[in-house]
Chain A
Amino acid sequence: MQILANIVVLTSLYALVACGYVLVYKVSRVLNLAHGELMILGAYLLVATSAGIASDPLAAIALTAMFSIVVGLSVYLLLMRKMTGQPVLAAVLTTVALGILLRGAMVLIWGPQQLNVGAMISFDNASIALTDSVRVSTAALWLVVCTFLVYLGLLAFLHMSRWGMRMRASGQNALLAAQRGINLHTVYALAWTLSTFSGSLAGVLVTLDSRIDVNMAVIGLKAFPAALVGGLDSLPGALIGAGVIAALEVLLIHYVNPLLSDVVPFLVLIAILIVRPWGLYGTKEELNRV
């Protein structure tokens, strides 16, 4: 049972990170390889806010969320906006470069050592007993709840709000979207903002549960196969993909070899790429567009 709880928590983490990939890819066909770094930046922003501005945990987290929106918006406006109309590959390499830049900058600013963010904002990460034998930490519980809410919110936004529909429309046919008066830059900026926001949220919650250092950005890379399993342009698909990856990872670590944990998502990735590159829910035609 404890294993099941662990799988659910890890699924939530991967799903929350993966939805960031999906949002940006779905709308603009750009794969954001800096997502892991942006996620960790969210956690470091919490460090900054808690140290400088807000001492109350909730206030600090709320402020961080606002900052992450600013970050996402600036990434698009200052950088990715210039790459629209360029080959997709150039845009992807730009995100690679952004990731490296952020990684270096974060170590320069916050240092290479591990930080205990939870202690900094005096967050009480007590272990909660769900049943007699199953325990999860407070932060992990928050993570599950937040992932659920984010997915619910995103699905509602994409299907019920007009701007959400415009995001779906632009992803399907950017030219027609422009011909129907939709401002593509607004749509792309929205996608980057939402993506960075959800990523930062994941970063904050995962570091509350452990400690933070820049190498945790690898979670971003490990969550990518989850997005791909689901087809890269499908939110429910990403959720299922996250479940598959998380379950395999937890089970293999527990029963086979702990060293496998870093490589499992990529084995799944290769398997998916060979068998069904468009993923479980993605559209097959996507492949020809890339």
Chain B
Amino acid sequence: MTDILEVTELEVTYQRSIRALHGVNLRVAKGQITALLGANGAGKSTTLRAISGFIGLDNARVTAGNVRYLGEDITGLQLPKTIHKGIVLVPERDKVFTNLTVAENLEVVSTTRAEGSNWRQIEEEIFVYFPRLAKLRNKPAGLLSGGERQMLAIGSALVCKPNLLLIDELSLGLAPVIVDEIIERLRDIHARTDLSILLVEQSAAVAFALASYGFVLENGKVELEGATQDLRTNQKILELYLGTGSAGRADYLANARRRREERANV
């Protein structure tokens, strides 16, 4: 299996002095969903930002290591060049333009890959993935719920026609029911396209529900990696990311299935 993304010994420094990453190594296999787990402040967001490109305002720099994308060295490549290569990020916070409507949020996207294509068609495509958004198309994004915002954010990222989608905190702050729905939608999208996804999560359960391979980041370094079925039974993961004492939560899928059934019964 070939890798679409290969990050080796990546170091990032903020404001010339604050080192946020200390040599991160990770790979994303082509067409697969890969998870990057870690607690708050472990450096997950920085890793994603470094891959998707900083802008001058960030005052951040890759100081060592490199990022290879489709075999090409793209270390330190800034926005918007990374977008044009097909690397698109769904940021953790401020992920939609709140003053624009749902439809406008999809239309503002500007990439050479998407430019010139039929806009109605692209919108309809996104609405197929997220039917909920179709009803909200003329609503300002600022009035959407957290889950709807996440869907819109993923949707507008998809308009950029990514090869590699980076998602920063898929489930953070969202109600479990909504998380289930988004997980389902993402699976659906992944099944229909050859999209590769790098998913940053704090919840191991969500990560395991989607990803086939996972990395665990701690203090700016990858501490653990493996196929998700192996990670799932790893004692350390169970303790750190699923909460000790409630081993039942480990089987997130079972929970999710139960909730879906409950909803269906209502």
A interface residues (Cβ-Cβ under 8 A, vs B)? 84-85, 162, 165-166, 168-169, 171-184
Contacts and interface: CB of A to CB of B under 8 A. Distances in A.
Contacts of A162: 107-108, 110
A124 B222 CA distance: 77
B80 A168 contact: no
Interface in B67-122: 79-80, 83-84, 88-89, 91, 94-100, 104-105, 107-111, 114
Chain B interface category by residue count: 20 to 34
Given A165-B108, A181-B111, A175 B160 contact: no
B80 A183 contact: yes
A165 B106 CA distance: 10
Interface stretch (B52-60, B171-179, B239-247): B52-60
A172 B99 contact: yes
A173 B97 contact: yes
A172 B97 contact: yes
Query: Which of A169, A173, A175, A181 has the most CB atoms of chain B within a 10 A radius of its CB?
Result: A181
A190 B46 CA distance: 31
Interface in B7-65: 52, 55-57
11 contacts: A166-B108, A169-B99, A172-B97, A173-B97, A173-B98, A175-B57, A178-B55, A180-B156, A181-B79, A181-B109, A183-B80
Given A179-B91, A180-B108, A182-B110, 17 more contacts: A165-B100, A165-B104, A165-B107, A168-B100, A173-B98, A174-B57, A175-B55, A177-B108, A178-B55, A179-B52, A180-B157, A181-B84, A181-B110, A181-B111, A182-B108, A182-B109, A183-B110
Nearest to A179: B89
A173 B111 CA distance: 18
Nearest to B95: A176
B87 to A, nearest CB: 10
The binding surface of chain B is classed by DSSP as loop
Contacts of B114: 181
Nearest to B57: A85
A81 to B, nearest CB: 11
Contacts of B89: 179
A176 B111 CA distance: 14
Nearest to A176: B94
Contacts of B107: 162, 165
Contact of A169 (B83, B88, B100): B100
A181 B57 contact: no
Contacts of B104: 165, 169
Contacts of A176: 91, 94-97
Interface in B206-233: none
Interface in B107-157: 107-111, 114, 156-157
A178 B79 contact: yes
Contacts of A171: 99
Nearest to B111: A181
Nearest to A26: B99
Given A162-B108, A166-B108, A181 B100 contact: no
Nearest to A183: B80
B126 to A, nearest CB: 13
Query: Which of A162, A165, A177 has the most CB atoms of chain B within a 10 A radius of its CB?
Result: A165
A74 B108 CA distance: 25
B160 to A, nearest CB: 6
B61 to A, nearest CB: 14
Give me the 7 closest cross-chain CB pairs, A-B, nearest first: A181-B111, A181-B83, A85-B56, A169-B97, A178-B79, A181-B110, A169-B108
A252 to B, nearest CB: 36
Contacts of B95: 176
Contacts of A182: 80, 108-110
